[in-house]
Structure 1
Amino acid sequence: MITRPVPSLEAARPQDYPHSLTDGVSATDVPFEPEAHWSVPWLLAQRVSRSGDRPLVARRSPLGGGWRNVSARAFGDEVAQVAAGLISMGLEPGQRVGIMARTSYSWFLLDMAIARAGLVSVPIYETSSAEQVRWIVSDAQVRLVVTETGAMSDLVHEASREVDHEVQVMALDADAVANLIEVGRSVGLAQVDERSEALRCDDLYSIIYTSGTTGRPKGVELTHRNAVGIPHHGVRYLPAVLRGSEVRLLLFLPLAHVYARCLQLLSLAGDGVVGHTPDVSTLLADMQSFAPSYVLAVPRVLEKIYNAADAAAGSGARLRLFRWASRVAIAYSRSLDTPQGPSRALRSSRVLADRLVYRRIRALLGPNARFVISGGGPLGERLGHFYRGIGLVILEGYGLTETIGPVCVNATWLNKIGTVGPPVCGNQIRVSPEGEVETRGLGVFSAYHNDPEATAAAFTADGWFRTGDLGTVDEDGHVRLTGRKKEIIVTAGGKNVAPSLLEDRLRGHPLVSQVVVVGDGEPFVSALITLDAEMLPQWLHNHGLPKMGVSEAASHPRVLAALDRAVARTNEVVSRAESIRTYRVLTTDFTETNGLLTPSLKVRRTEVLRAHGEVVSQIYASSGKGPTEG
C-alpha cells in the first residue's frame, strides 16, 4: 500500500525534463505552481509571439484532398474576429456557449474564440439525443449553441423549449462563422483584448459533460489553470513528440471528448501543425495526405488495425508469415526490457519481418508516423509490445475528463509497456488502502457543475480526487491499472474478477467486436460477445466459408469453434474461478447510435446489461453448457 505521494517525474522543473535516460531526473513531491495570468488566450498569444508566421493549423482544401496551412498569426486574427462577434451578440463574461459539431477547423476556431471573449465553452456531442441536449443546455445555462447543421439546430431549438432562459442557435452550414465575423465588425479589438486580459487561471474555461458509462452525465468544470497547465508542461515532458517544425497531428476523435481536446491544446502549446478530419471512413487516405508525425488513438482503433492486417494476410503461407512476424515483434519488444536486450538472432528476424510485414502496417498511419499516443482505455501488453516491436513508439497514458487529459503518460525515454507511465505535468498519484488510484495537482478539476454532493463524494478529506480506477505503482513510479472499481465482479463464491483483462484479450480475435464479461453474484463468469461485421467477410473467405451475415454467423459451428479457441486462450491468463465458463454471441453490435458505446468507444456496461438482461438471465438459468446464440 502506498500512503504517501509517489515521487514523480513531473516534479522536476520544466528545463530539467530529460531527453534520454542518461540526462537524469530531479524529483521532489512539490507540484508545479500555476501562474495567475494563465489562460487559453494567453497560450494562443504565446504561440503567435513565438512563431506567428509558421503554420499552426492545416485546413483541408475545399477544392481537393490537399491541405492548406494557416499560420498562427492568421488563426489568431480570425479567432479575435469571431470573439468580437460573440461579444456583439450581447454575451457577457462567464456566460456559456455550446458547440455541437464535428471535429473540424471550425470547432477549434470557435473554442478559441469563446475563450478569447471571456466566455465558457460547453461541448455537446453531435450524436446527443434531445433529452441530453436539454439537460446540458439547462444545467449549464447555455445562451448560444453553434451546431454543425440546420437539422442539429432544429434539435436544439426543440430541446430548448422547456428551459428557463433564451437559447440562440446558429449553424455552421448556414455560415455561422462568417455571420459572427460580420456582426463583430462593430466591436473593437480593444474590447476583445480587455475580455482576454481580465481572465485569471482559476476562471472557468469549459464545462465538459462526461459521456459516462452509467447515469446522467455530470458537468466537469475545468479552469484555465487546467487547460494551460497540462499543455504548458506537457511539451517540456515530451519534446521529441511535441517540439519541432516537423511535428504534425491529425485529429479524428470527437473534440467534444477531453482526450482530443487536450491534444489540440498541446499542439497549440508546442510547435506543430494540427489538422482535423471528421470522417473515419477516409481516415487512412487522410493519414497518407496529411502525414502526421504522431497519432492519437484509442485502443479499439489499434486493435482494428492489427485485426485488419491479420485478416488481410488471408490463409496459408501469407497468414503464417504474418503470425510469425507478430510473434517476432512481441518478442523483440519484450527483450528491450531485459538487461541483455535482443539477441543477434532476434534482431536478424526483426530486420526480415520489417522488410516483409512491418513497413506495410506502419505505412497505414502515414509516411512520417513515429509515435502513437494511446488513451481512453487500456491498450494491453500484447498490442503494446506488437506496435513497439514493429517500430512505433507507443506512449500509453491515463486520464479522465476530470483531469483534462493525462494524469500519467509513458515517456519516450522511460517507457514500460503494460503501464500508463508515471504522473506528469504537475499531477501526483497515490493508491488508497482499498487499491483505488487517487490524484491531485495541476490538471485536476475543481467541481461538478451544480452538484456539490457529487463533488464532495469525488474527493478525499485531504483533497485527493478518487478516480474510481484500481491500480498499483511500481518502484519507478509507473502506474499499472487493474480495472474500474465499480466494474469488479464478485462471484457467488466470493472471487473478485476484473473484467477488463478478459475483455481486452478476447477482443484481440479478428471476429470479435465487443465483449462484456458478466457474473456478479453468480456461480461462474460468462461473457456477451458481438461479431465484427467489417472483419467477418474476410475471415469467412480465409476459412473457405460462404458469405453470410452476422445473424447467421452467430450460430455457425465454425465461427463458434473459433470463438471457443479464443476464449480458451483468454482463460490461460487467469485462474479457473476467474475464467469465462460460457458465452453468448449477440446478433447486434454495441454502437453510439443504440446507446451502448460512448463517443470514445467505451462500452456502457450498465446499458448493455439492461438491453441484454434477458440473455444474461438465460445463461444462469441454464446449465452453462457451451455457447449458444443470443
Structure 2
Amino acid sequence: MSSAHSLIDSGRADIVAGRPASVAHLFLERVAATPGAEAYRYPAPVDEQAADSAPGAEQWRSVTWAQAAARVYAVAAGLLSLGIRSEDRVALSSSTRLEWILADLGNMCAGAATTAVYPSTNADETAFILSDSGSRAMFAENAVQLAKVVAERERLPELQTVILFDAPAETPDAVGLKIVTLAELEQLGADYLAEHPGVVERTVAALDKEQLATLIYTSGTTGRPKGVRLVHDCWAYEGRAQEASGLLAADDVQFMWLPLSHVFGKTLISGQIATGHVMAVDGRVERIIHNLPVIRPTIMASAPRIFEKVYNGIAGKARAAGGAKYRIFLWAARTAREYARTAQANRIATGSDRVPFALGLKHSLADRLVYAKIRAAFGGRLRGAVSGSAALAPEIGYFFVGAGVPILEGYGLSETSAGSSVNRAEDIRVGTVGRPLPGTEVRIAEDGEILLRGPGIMRGYHNLPEKTAEVLEADGWFHTEDIGELSADGFLRITDRKKDMFKTSGGKYVAPSEVEGKFKAVCPFVSNILVIGNGRNYCTALIGLDESAIMPWAAERGLAGRSYTEVVADPQVHQLIDGFVQRLNADLQRWQTVKKFHLLPRDLDVEHGELTPSLKIKRPVVEREYADAVTAMYAGSNEA
C-alpha cells in the first residue's frame, strides 16, 4: 500500500506485548494483587434515619476490588445459571453507574459478549440492535428501558431474560420473557457458585483472545447503526496500552461520567483495571460541576462540548460582572493562550518550554487573579483532562493549557476500541491528537486519509462482510475516513472527516470542521454550528446558540421574559452573532468565509435526532430539517 508517512510507537512494547487474553484476566489479576484497595466510588442516598440528613442528600461510598469481584462473580455465575455461554450476546442499556461496570465485567467473566445500547435509543432502534446482535439477555436500568423491549417483543424472539437494575413498582407482562432484578440474579449466582465452586475462574481461563467481547453499534450520521465486533484482545490491549503510555497511573482518581455505552467511556474501564486506580462513577451530566470539587479527580475524560460550555460559562460570568472584572478576564484569556503557544513552540524547537521573563510574570499574575479559580472548579488536582469523540477548537485548548488545566486531546473510533493516539501531560501539542498508543501503527495514505493498524482494531462489522471489506484491508489496515497529517516526531493532526469535506462551485475545497472550530473559539455564545457549501458558490452556516450564555445577555438588553426562540429571532442577537462571524471571516481564506448564517430556533439535540449520543452533528439530518433556511441563504446567488 502506498503511503505518505507511517509510524508506530513501540515505546514500552513489552508491557503491551505481554498482555493477557482478556480484560477478565486483567480483572482477576487486579483483584489478586490489590484486593483491599479502593476500586470504585459511587453516589448513594444518605440514610434518611440519620439525624443530620437532608431530603435527597447523597454521599459517596467506596467499593474495594475484592468487594467488586464478589459481585462480578455473582453476576457471571448468575448468567451461567441462566444458560448463557461463550460469545452469547447480553445487551446492556443503562446510564453510567457502578452497576453498568459490574454487569459488563460479569458478562466477560461468563464468556458472554456485551451488546452496548445507549439508554437514549428509541424503542425501534433498540429492537434493531437487540435483534441484529442476537442478544439472549439484557441488563436494563429501569422501567423505561424495559418498556422498549416489551413494546417490541415480537421482533425479539431470541431475548429470554431481562435483568433490572432498578425494579419498577409493577412488572409488565411480557410473553416468554423472564424478568429478574440484579439482586435476584446475584442470588442465583451465589447459589450456582455454591454448587459449582471455581466455575468463574475456569470460564475466564478458557477465554480466547479472539473471542467476541463486545458489540458496539456506531451511532453513525446516516442509516442503521453497524455493530462493531471487538474481541477480548482489543480491550486487554487498550488496558495495557493506556498504562504503558502513562495516560493513567496507579495513584489516579478518575471521574467517570461519560456514557459507557460509547467506546470512549468503555475503553477507560480497561485502563483503570490495568493500573488499579480509583474510579468515581456518576453519569448524571447535571451533577458534573457539583461533583468535581467533591471527587477532586486527577484525571477525567470528556467530549469537547463540555470544555466549550465551561469556557463559555466562565466568559459569561465575567461579562455579566462587567467593568474591570471582564477586562481582567479578557486579558487573562489572551495571556493563557500566549503562554501556552509560546511554551509549546519552544518545547518543539528546543526541548524546553521556558517562556520569556515578562510573559512569565504576566502569567503568574493572571494565575492569582483568574486561573487558580478555574483549577479549583475542577477540583484542584487535575493533571489531565482527556478530550475525544470530536475535534476541540485549538483556541479552547490553548486557553485551558495556559490556565493549568491540561486538556489531552486524543483520537479513536468505535472501530479502534477508541484509544489510538493521545497527548501526554508532559508533552501536550494543542491542535493535534498526540502520538499513537504503544503498539498502534499510523499511516497517512496518498490522499491524506488516516489508516490505523494494531490490536485495538475491530475484527469487522457484525453480519456485514461487504461493509467490513470497504474499510478493513486483509493486512489489517483500517480506513478511518478521516483526513490528517503526521509530524516528523509522531504527532497526529486531524484536518477533517473525508466524507464531510466539500468543494465549492468555484473548485475550492473546504474542511467544515476547521471553520466550525475557529468559530467556537471566537464566539462564546455558540453551542453548535454547521458550515454548508458543497457545490455552492459560497459558504453559509446554521448556528445554534448556548441558551445558558445568550439568555442572560438578552435579559440585560431588554429581552427578559422572552423565550429562547424569541430571543434568537431578535435583530440585536443577529447583530451580535454577525460581529463574531466577521471576526471568524477575518482569519479565513476568501473561499472559506461564511457569507450568510441562520440562527436556529432551538439548539440541536439528541432527542430530535440531530446529534448522535456522543454529540456529533448528523449533518444530513440537520440540512434536511432546515432545508428552507438553507435555500433562503442562497436565494438570488446565481449558483451554477
Give the TM-score category using the shorter length. Answer: over 0.9
Distance 1:450 1:364 in 2: 46
Q: Secondary structure at the match of 2:166?
A: helix
Partner of 1:227: 235
Unpaired segments of 5 or more residues in structure 1? 16-31, 625-630
Deviations, residues 502-543 of structure 1 (Å, cap 9, x unaligned): 111223322211100111111111000112112122222456
**Mapping 1:88-487, distance limit 5 Å:** 88-174=81-167, 176-188=181-193, 189-238=197-246, 241-245=247-251, 247-313=252-318, 314=320, 315-339=322-346, 341-460=354-473, 462-487=475-500
Match of 1:603 in 2: 617
Q: Tell me if 1:523 matches 2:564.
A: no
Quick check: 106-115 or 360-369, which moved more?
A: 360-369
CA shift, 1:149, in A, is 0.9
> Does the CA contact (< 8 Å) of 1:54 and 1:71 recur in 2?
yes
Q: Which residue is 1:60 aligned to?
A: 43
- Does the aligned pair in 2 maintain the 1:5–1:428 contact within 8 Å? no
- Quote how far apart the aligned CAs of 1:594 are: 0.4
Please list the CA deviations of residues 364-415 of structure 1 after superposition, one character each: whole Å capped at 9, or x if unmatched.
2113222111111111221111111001222111000011111111122332
Q: Which of residues 68, 72, 85 is equivalent to 2:78?
A: 85
1-side partners of 2:389 and 2:610: how far apart? 16
Question: CA–CA distance in 2 between the matches of 1:58 and 1:223?
Answer: 28
The 2-side partners of 1:164 and 1:49 are apart by 40
Q: Cα distance, 1:455 vs. partner?
A: 0.3
Query: 1:549 Cα shift?
Result: 2.2
Amino acid of the residue matched to residue 517 of structure 1? V
Tell me if structure 2 keeps the 8 A contact 1:52–1:72.
Answer: yes
Q: Is the 8 A contact 1:459 1:465 kept in 2?
A: yes
Cα distance in structure 2, aligned partners of 1:14 and 1:369? 29
Q: 1:286 to 1:419 in 2, by over 3 A?
A: same
Deviations 1:565-586 (A, max 9, x none): 1111222332111111111111
- The alignment partner of 1:213 has SS state of coil
Contact 1:470/1:483 (<8 A) preserved: yes
State the AA in 2 paired with 1:472: E
Please provide the CA RMSD for this pair: 1.9
SS at match of 1:569: helix
Report if the CA contact (8 A) 1:230-1:425 is conserved: no
1:110 deviates by 0.2
CA contact (8 A) 2:93 2:119 kept: yes
Distance in 2 between residues matched to 1:331 and 1:250, nearest whole Å: 30
For residue 574 of structure 1, what is the aligned residue in structure 2?
Answer: 588
Report what 1:13 is aligned to.
Answer: 13
State the Cα deviation string for residues 265-305 of structure 1 (Å, max 9, x = none): 21111131111112111211111211111121111100000
Corresponding position: 1:38 with 2:45 = no
Mapped partners of 1:381, 1:510: distance in 2:
14
Q: Contact (CA 8 Å) 1:242, 1:271: kept in 2 or not?
A: no
Contact 1:387 1:394 in 2 (8 A): yes
- 1:170 to partner: Cα distance: 2.6
Counterparts of 1:511 and 1:254, CA distance in 2: 26
Please say if residues 333 and 385 of structure 1, whose CA atoms lie closer than 8 Å, have aligned partners that are also in contact: yes
1:510 and 1:539 in contact (8 A); partners too: no
Provide the rounded CA distance (Å) in 2 between the counterparts of 1:389 and 1:273.
Answer: 27
Cα pair distance change 1:324/1:621, threshold 3 Å: same
C-alpha displacement of 1:230: 1.5
- TM-score w.r.t. the length of structure 1 is 0.93
Secondary structure (helix, strand or coil) at the match of 2:6 reads coil
Instruction: Tell me the distance in 1 between the aligned counterparts of 2:545 and 2:329.
Output: 22
**Partners of 2:394 and 2:239 in 1: CA distance:** 27
Whichever residue aligns with residue 258 of structure 1, its letter is V
Secondary structure at 2:480 match in 1: strand
The match for 1:501 is 514
- CA 1:34 to 1:129, structure 2 compared with 1: closer, same or farther past 3 Å? farther
Q: Which residue identity does 1:516 align to in structure 2?
A: L
CA gap 1:177/1:447 in 2 versus in 1, 3 angstroms = same
Q: What amino acid sits opposite 1:608 in the alignment?
A: V
Deviation at 1:463, TM superposition (A): 2.9
Which segment is superposed worse, 90-99 or 111-120? 90-99
Where 1:142 maps in the other structure, the secondary structure is coil
CA contact (8 A) 1:554 1:586 kept: yes
Report the counterpart of residue 28 of structure 1 in structure 2.
Answer: none
Cα shift readout 1:152-207 (whole Å, capped 9, x = no counterpart): 20211222312342432232112722111111233124222222111011111100
Shifted more, 224-233 versus 110-119: the winner is 224-233
The answer on whether the counterparts of 1:407 and 1:424 sit within 8 Å (CA) in structure 2 is yes
Name the amino acid aligned to 2:9.
L
SS of 2:607 mapped into structure 1: coil
Report the count of equivalent residues. 605
CA distance in 2, matches of 1:135, 1:420: 34
Query: 2:600 matched to 1:586?
Result: yes
The 2-side partners of 1:542 and 1:506 are apart by: 24
> TM-score of the superposition, structure 2-length normalised?
0.91
Q: Which amino acid aligns with 2:563?
A: G
- Letter paired with 1:525: C
| TM-aligned CA deviation for residue 12 of structure 1 | 4.3
CA-to-aligned-CA distance 1:427-449 (integer Å, 9 cap, x gap): 11001111100000011111100
CA drift at 1:545? 5.3
| Contact 1:312–1:538 (8 Å) recurs in 2 | no
Paired residue secondary structure (2:239): helix
Structure 1 CA distance for aligned equivalents of residues 273 and 14 of structure 2: 17
Structure 2 gaps of 5+ residues are 47-56, 168-179, 347-352
